[in-house]
Structure 1
């Protein structure tokens, strides 16, 4: 397949695969710092999925298979907690020994957000439909994984969702009207 791809596609693949390796390695570095069994389960599942997704992409690129992109399992429907309830102040750690579950979850969330953007941007450069779809699915997978981590953080009160006064919210939402459908000839 490599000869059938453009130079920009090869460069994007190199960057995405390197980013995936970096994400897996980053998550493995987090593992010894996790205390909460729930977060450890999320971390371990995501490392496994990221590794499987990486291997799938490498096999596809090296023409060992033309498999479809693997979707990440959907996060269970949950009700997010809205509002601020005594948020804890944050500051950088003085040493790696201070790393805790909040630090790990926040790092995981940031990694997935960046990777989702990166993969979607890379997908826009691909003419090969299989790799284009694989990168698009990869961006969706990162979004689903980030939501899983965000949900954990929200449940634990680590990632709180500020709200506005109801009048402000209503005013902002109601500042839009339906558009008229254009009449095309």
Structure 2
């Protein structure tokens, strides 16, 4: 009897599910330290979604009838604020009591960034197209959740976006131009 999944797929799914459990547990640890209602709402919404996504993946691999990957829906509520405005210095907390909303949001952001990268890498090891799409959507979901947290952090001044002089930005962005594609098609058929 042929195996249901390849060895790489099994190991990658194991890593994705373990990472998801760790993320859910991490977010539960953050909840008591969350004071801002907006951040608490984001955390709770994301925690519910992460738990549902975990359950969907477990169900999909156990029943071999892949369920549809559900996209994370977020509201784009603010335009990014660019530039530095007196950023505060950061140091590690000396006590658990020192943890604040900036620490919680930063931890959430880091969790989603790491998970997005790990999931996209895991999808590259999947032979089963449905499993691959499920894990790819998980990477996109982590990216969307990270952006939602980033928007909150940027709005509160916790994550400021440095900029360069306009001349430097313009020079770098205008360095590139469109490639000539007329010769490419001829080489493919010769």
Does the pair score TM above 0.5?
yes
Cα offset, 1:65, TM superposition = 4.5
1:76 alignment partner, SS class: coil
Q: Distance in 2 between matches of 1:87 and 1:65?
A: 50
TM-score w.r.t. structure 1 length? 0.96
Aligned mates of 2:64, 2:132 — CA distance in 1:
17
Provide structure 2 residue ranges, at least 5 long, that are not aligned to the other structure.
none
Partners of 1:61 and 1:183 in 2: how far apart? 42
Q: Structure 1: give runs of 5+ residues left out of the alignment.
A: none
Which shows bigger deviation, 47-56 or 171-180?
Answer: 171-180
Measure, in 2, the Cα distance between the counterparts of 1:147 and 1:64: 32
Name the TM-score, length of structure 2 as normaliser.
0.94
Contact 1:75 1:144 in 2 (8 A): no
8 Å Cα contact 2:66/2:131 also seen in 1: no
RMSD: 1.3
Match of 1:148 in 2: 148
Q: Could you tell which deviates more after superposition, 68-77 or 155-164?
A: 68-77
Runs of 4+ residues over 6 Å off in structure 1: none
The CA distance in 2 between the partners of 1:64 and 1:45, in whole Å, is 28
- What is the rounded CA distance, in whole Å, between the counterparts of 2:21 and 2:75 in structure 1? 24
Asked whether the equivalents of residues 78 and 155 of structure 2 are also in contact (C-alpha less than 8 Å), the reply is no
Question: 2:185 is matched with which residue?
Answer: 183
